[in-house]
Structure 1
Amino acid sequence: MSGLLSVRAAVGRAVRRPSGRREGRASMTRVFISYRADDDSFATVHLDQRLAARFGAGNVFRDSRHLRPGADFEPKLWRNLAGSSVVVAVIGPRWLTGGGTDNRLLRPADFVRRELEFALELRLPIVPLLLGDVAMPAARDLPESLRNLVNHQFRRLHPRNAEATVQQFVDELDDAYGDQPPTRPGTVAVVLASAPPPAGLSNLVRKATADSGLAAALVEQTAVGVHVIQPDGAKAAAMAGDFVRVLTDALHGQPDLGRLRVALHFGDVAPTPDDTVLAARHLANEPLLDDVLRATPGARIALIASDDFYQTAVRPGRHGVDRSAFARVHIAGRDAWVQAPGFPHPRGLHAASEPSAPPVATGVTNNVETVHGDLVMGDKIGHDKNVYRSGR
C-alpha cells in the first residue's frame, strides 16, 4: 500500500478503536484544524474524528463540519480560531500549491495563510502535522508573515504506524493543552449609527482597525452599526488611542457617514464574545451620548467606555490616551467613562452641587464626575472635583 493510502487506512482504524485513556471525558480544550481542502483531506477528516472523540465534537473546529451551506463563514471561522487552545496545521503534499502549481501561500487572500497569520498574531500555539514523507516547508517558501512557522515543533503522521502516531499525537495535545480554558480577554467596540447604517461604515471601521495596527480585529456588520472584536487583550490601549483617533479623523473626511456613538468594553471575547458584546451594546445605547452630541456640534463621535475598559486601557496612560478628557458617569450602580474625541471634555452634562460623599445612582439619573490630570491613588481615588447630572 502506498504511503498516503496506508495513512488513510491506518487513521481509519485508529478512529474506530478508541484508546480508552481519556476518551469521552469532558474537556475545555478547543482545537482548530487548519488544512487545505484539496490537499489530503481524507486524513484530515479522520484526524478530526479522533480529536473529537477525545475533546468533544464541539471543541474541535474543522470548517466543512461546522459551517452550514450559505452561512456567512468568516465571522464564525475567526471567532472559533480566536477561541482555540491550539491550532493544528495539517501539511500534506499539496499544502503549498493545492491542486495547481503556484505557491498559494504567497497570495494575501489565501485562507490557509490568513488562518495562520491570525494565529501567530494572537500568539496561539501552532503544531504543524506533516503527513507521510512531506518535508517541513522552508522559510523561503513562506511569506514573511509566516516564516516563524518553521520554528514551531512539528509532528509527523507516519504511514507505517499511523494508528500509533495518531494516538500519540492526540495524547500529546491532551498533555500539553488539556483542561486549559480557552478564555481570552479582549476589547469589543460597538459603533452605532442611524438605522440602517450608512453605506461604507463597515469599510471605514475595518480600515481604521488596519491603520491602527489591529490586525487580529474582527469587524462585523450589524443592523444598526458595526461590532469590532479585538481578541488580543494587550491591544486594549490601542483601541482607546490609535483606533479612536484614526476613526475620528476618517469621519471628518466623510461627512455623509453622520455622527456615531461608540462603546468600548473589556472582557472575555473567546470562545464566544456574546456577553461582552451585549454589555458594550447597552453602553452604546445610553441616552447621555445623544446629550453629548447635541451639545458639541463639531463632535463626530460620542464615546463611552466601561470601567473595566478604562482601568485596563485608559488609566495607565499608554498610546497617547488623554485620561483627563474622560468624565466618569454612574449608570445603574456601575462606573463608565464618557468622552467626545477631539474635545478636552464632554459637553451636555448638567452641573450639580458637589456632594460630601460619592454620589449614588438612583433610577435613571446619571451622576458624572470629571477627573483632570493624574489620579491621586491611596485607598481609593481622590475626591470628586465636579459632579454632573444628565437632567433625566
Structure 2
Amino acid sequence: MPGVFVNYRTGDGEWAAALVKRELSARFGADQVFYASQSIRLGEDFSREILSGLRRCEVLLAIIGPRWSGAVDREGVRRLEKSDDWVRREITEAFQCGLRVIPVLMDGIDPLAEADLPDALKRLARCQYLRIHHRSDDLDLPRLVDELVELVPELVTAKAAPPAPRVDRPAEGELRSPVTEFRRALAEPVGHTVTDRVQAAASSVLELLTESRYPVSGHLDDSELPAELEKRLTGYEHDLAPLLRLVAIGVRSGDRRHDDLWTALVDRFLRPSPRDRGAQDVWVNAALYPALLLVYVMGVAAVASDREELVHRLLCQTSVDADGRTILVLRALALRNVVDPRHAAALPTWDGAPPRQALSVQLRQVLSRVFFNVVDGTAFEWAFADYEFLRSLLELHDGAFSSLGEFAVQLDRDDSVIYERNLARLNADSALLRSGAFGGDPAEVAAAWRELRQATRARYS
C-alpha cells in the first residue's frame, strides 16, 4: 500500500512534522501516513513497527530543523554519527528500500551539504528538497500535497483495508490536490471550469478581507506601527496564498482564453471601499496589498510565458476609480502607494534592505514560494526582475516616476545586463509594443530607458 513516512528529530521539528501529518492525513487518510508517535500502539515493539511501516511506504519526508544536524547525545557525540540514531536509521533504510526521500527544510535552514553529513547520509544532500515556513505554512503544505499527488498518484486512489469509508478520509473526489485539479481544468477545451475555480477562490478570499478583520480606523503610535503593519501584510499573504497559486499556474500556462479573467480579478480586488473619517492612511494603503500581490503574480507569470502584452494590459489598460478620478493600475499600485518606504524599512523582519527596495525584496520572497514548481530557480529570479524593470519603464513613459524595484541595485552596478536581456521585448515588432506600450515607438522606449538610468544613478549613486 502506498504511503508517506514522516521522519523527524525529537526536539527539532515536531511542529512541522505535526502539521505535515495533519495535512496529509486530511488529504489521503490517516492510514496513508506513518507518524511514529501516533501510528504505533501502546505495548508494540516500536523498532519492528517503525521498520515495517517504513517498508510499506513510497515516500519518506525528512523534516529538518535547526537542531537536526548538530544534536548530540549525553556524551557529546553527534547523533547523526551513531548508527542507532533513529533519524539516521530511518533515512538509510528508506534509501535501501528504494523510497523517494524528500528533505523538508524548516524556515531559513540552509540546504544540506554532503561535507556536513556522515557517509551513510551524504545522498540526502543530493535529494531535491522542499521548504516549510511557519509564516506561510498555509501555502507550503498544499504545495507539498500537490507534489505528492503528482509523484505518487496511488495515494489518491488507494483504499483503506476495510471497505467501509473512514471518518478521517475525505470523499474520493476531495482527495486530489486542488492545484492538480486546476491544472487538469486548464487542459480542457472549454475554459469555464477555470473561471469558476478562480472566481470561487477569489470570493473566499474577499470574504476574509473585511473591516472587522482588517480595520482601517484607529491610530497607533510610531513604536507600535511597524509590528502591526507587518502582521497585517503577513495576514494578507496567508489569506491570498491559495488564490495566488492558482493565478500563477493559470497565467503561466500561456492560455489567452483566460486574459479577461485576470483583468476581472484585479478589478474585483481594486474596488474602492467607503473611507470613513477615522481611517488611517497606512491601513488604507495597506489594503491595496492583496491587489498588488495579484498583479505581481500575474506580471511575473506573464513575463515568464513571453506574454508581455498581458503585462501592458494589466498595468496600463486596467484602472480603478478613486475619489472621482480614474487611475491606472500602474499608478494605483506603485510600491510607495501601498507601503511607505519609511514604514517598510522599520518592519521587524524586513531589515537589511534599503527603504526603496524593502517591499520589492519581500514580494520576491513571498512569490518565490508561490511559483515553486511553476517558474523555479533562476528563471523565477529573472522573470521577477524583468517584470519590475518593464513596469518601471512603463511608469516613466506614463509620467512622473514613483517606483524602483530590487533590480535597481543590479542596474546601478551594470546597466547593460537587464536591458540586453529585454531587448527582444522592447523592439517595434515585440508583442509589448504591438499591444500599444510606449505608443508602439522604440524611440519612446529609449527615452524611458535613459530616464530610468538617470533615476537609478540619482537614488543610488
Q: State the TM-score, normalizing by the size of structure 1.
A: 0.38
Whose RCO is larger (CA < 8 A, sep 6+)?
1
Structure number with the higher strand fraction is 1
Structure number with the higher helix fraction is 2
Q: State the TM-score, normalizing by the size of structure 2.
A: 0.32
